[in-house]
Amino acid sequence: MTGAGRHNDITDVAGIRVGHAQVEGEGALSGTTVVLAPPGGAAAGVDVRGAAPGTRETDLLDPRNTVDTVHAIVLGGGSAYGLDSASGVMARLEDAGIGFAVPGGVVPIVPAAVLFDLGRGGRFDARPGAAHGMAAFDAATGGPIAQGVVGAGTGAVAGGLKGGVGSASTVLADGTTVAALVAVNAVGSPAHPGTGVLHGVLHGLPGEFDLPDVVEPAGVGAALARHAGGGAGTATTIGVLATDATLDKAGCARLATMGHDGLARSLAPVHTVMDGDTIFALSTGRAAAPDLPGLFALHAAAADVVARAVVHAILHARSIATPAGSWPSYRDAVRGS
């Protein structure tokens, strides 16, 4: 491993673009994030580990099934309602002539996963739809990307602390890039409730994280206690891994599996009955297929970049208060402010 890419985010994988959109108006605290593949699409896989997922088109990513490439991945708030954001992304891709060719036109392939943030802004019906998918598509950039309380992470909460979107990348010794983007919305905590230390910091690069001094470690435990008692399906961390290494659908699915190791390193507990934790993986195929040692290094780095992306999500988050509740940022919680 040689270090992070230029932006230290998922757009360091050439051809990947990311856009965010938020639900606007009084009582709103939700949004959508789109990860766009290069115009020709990308091989993709998925691994769903949480017990309460909200997903779309994941069966299509089974290596036994027909379509080999996807054109975008959508991550969103709004629970199952938020899956409608993918329809807006499909519309934009169709307008651009991008999709799976069929007689008379194209069908864009846009898998999606959602997290639960319903009502956190005060209004249960303030959730993303097709228009927000279009807005996220229109805002897509090749980086650097916004992190924290944006897009799919707008209404996210992690162990009672404010969650959000985070991203990180790694360039391996052979020049291969692997990167992750996550929206962290977990029942479990990203920090140890006794010491206040973020679980994922052990997997960071030297000097990567701008960490606050932990003055009040009990702030993490207090946030976790306030957050306890949610129902099934009221959390979920979702994300996308991307690499320029050439992988097929089965290889992408294995990469996604390794990404879940990164969640286990940075959130405790994870993959619970209250979470629908889902990770997608994309391969743009712009670099060579790895040999066995290269594949080992790619898998190890995938777990690390997910753990690092979780830390960035938490460090970029800011405290939020709405009529439905208040959620301190990690920085404010450990400073006692």
DSSP secondary structure string for all residues of 54-119:
EEES-GGGSTTSS---BSEEEEESSGGGGGGHHHHHHHHHHHTT-SEEETTEEE----EEE---TT
In this prediction the pTM is 0.96
Helix H or strand E encompassing 296? helix 292-316
Tokens 């405290």 identify what position? 319
Q: Which of 52, 21, 72 has the alpha carbon at shortest distance from 237? A: 52
**Mean pLDDT, consecutive 10-residue segments, the chain of 337 residues?**
89 98 96 96 95 93 92 97 98 96 96 96 96 98 96 96 98 96 96 94 95 89 78 83 97 97 96 93 95 96 98 98 94 87
How many residues are listed for the chain in this entry?
337
Q: Note whether 154 and 113 are within 8 A (CB).
A: no
Tokens of 122: 């005060």
- Structural domains of the chain, with CATH: 10-335 (3.60.70.12)
- Report pLDDT for 230: 66
Round to whole Å and give the CA distance between 14 and 266. 27
- Report pLDDT for 228: 67
Strand partners, 326: 321
Round to whole Å and give the CA distance between 319 and 262. 25
Per DSSP (E only), the strands in 135-292 are: 157-158, 161-162, 164-171, 177-184, 238-243, 278-283
Strand partners, 243: 178, 283
What's CA 177's distance to the chain center, in Å? 17
